[in-house]
Amino acid sequence: MRFEKLAAEGWAYRMGFRRVAGADEAGRGALAGPLVAAAVILPREARLEGLDALDDSKRLTPRARRELFRSIVEVAESWSFACVSAAEIDAKGLQECNLSALRDALRGLSPPPELALVDFYRLGDLGIPQWNLVHADLGCRCVAAASVLAKVIRDHLMWHWWVLCPQYGFDRHKGYGTAFHLEAIAEHGPAVCHRGSFQRVAQMELIPRA
């Protein structure tokens, strides 16, 4: 198991923190769909049932993520998520929405955490100590678990948008800027779920369509 030594969580436990939460987000760089943040508190056991394959969500197959999702929610002491729509991202800006989603996910945990491990970003007004680590999803089990939850939830939401707007192929790319996706925006124009404030979406508004 990659996280058997639990370096980050182990440090927190030795410092006296009992409930340690990890938080991460999915969809930050997508051109369409929501940004989803998740937070999770895992038990302190060195090995947890069903989590031997746990890793950063980007390094896992869709099937592996779905299987891990079920295991995470079964063993977690607490888990939560928060979504920010494309319209809110356009209105408030990506960075502000990213931070607020992470904060809301952590605040949604019950029982609440005593310490938050967050991938890279420093969160203001959190109300509890936090440890901000670069690539925390690669070294912290609870952050990796949060990354899986966020990715699976967001992918599920993008399947919803694919049903509503099949011409964009959200089932294939989940809203990210692939060549197929950009060609679909150029042909059909942006949909309501596209982030109009993103340059690669906004510039499509200027392309004449038949």
What confidence score (pLDDT) does residue 29 get? 96
Task: List per-residue pLDDT tens for the chain, 210 residues long.
Answer: 465 546 789 889 999 999 999 999 999 999 999 999 999 999 998 788 899 999 889 999 999 999 999 999 999 999 999 999 999 999 999 999 999 999 999 999 999 999 999 988 899 999 999 999 888 878 899 999 999 999 999 999 999 999 999 999 999 999 999 999 999 999 999 999 999 999 889 877 655 554
The rounded distance, in Å, linking the Cα atoms of 93 and 62 is 29
Tell me how many helices (H) and strands (E) the chain has.
Answer: 9, 5
What confidence score (pLDDT) does residue 189 get? 93
What confidence score (pLDDT) does residue 208 get? 52
Q: Model's pTM, two decimal places? A: 0.93
Which CATH code of 3.30.420.10, 3.40.228.10, 3.30.930.10, 3.40.640.10 fits the domain covering 7-160? 3.30.420.10
What confidence score (pLDDT) does residue 1 get? 47
What confidence score (pLDDT) does residue 10 get? 87
Q: Tokens 């051109």 map to which residue?
A: 31
What confidence score (pLDDT) does residue 205 get? 61
Q: Tokens 């004449």 map to which residue?
A: 208
Q: Kindly list the domain boundaries of the chain, sorted by start residue.
A: 7-160
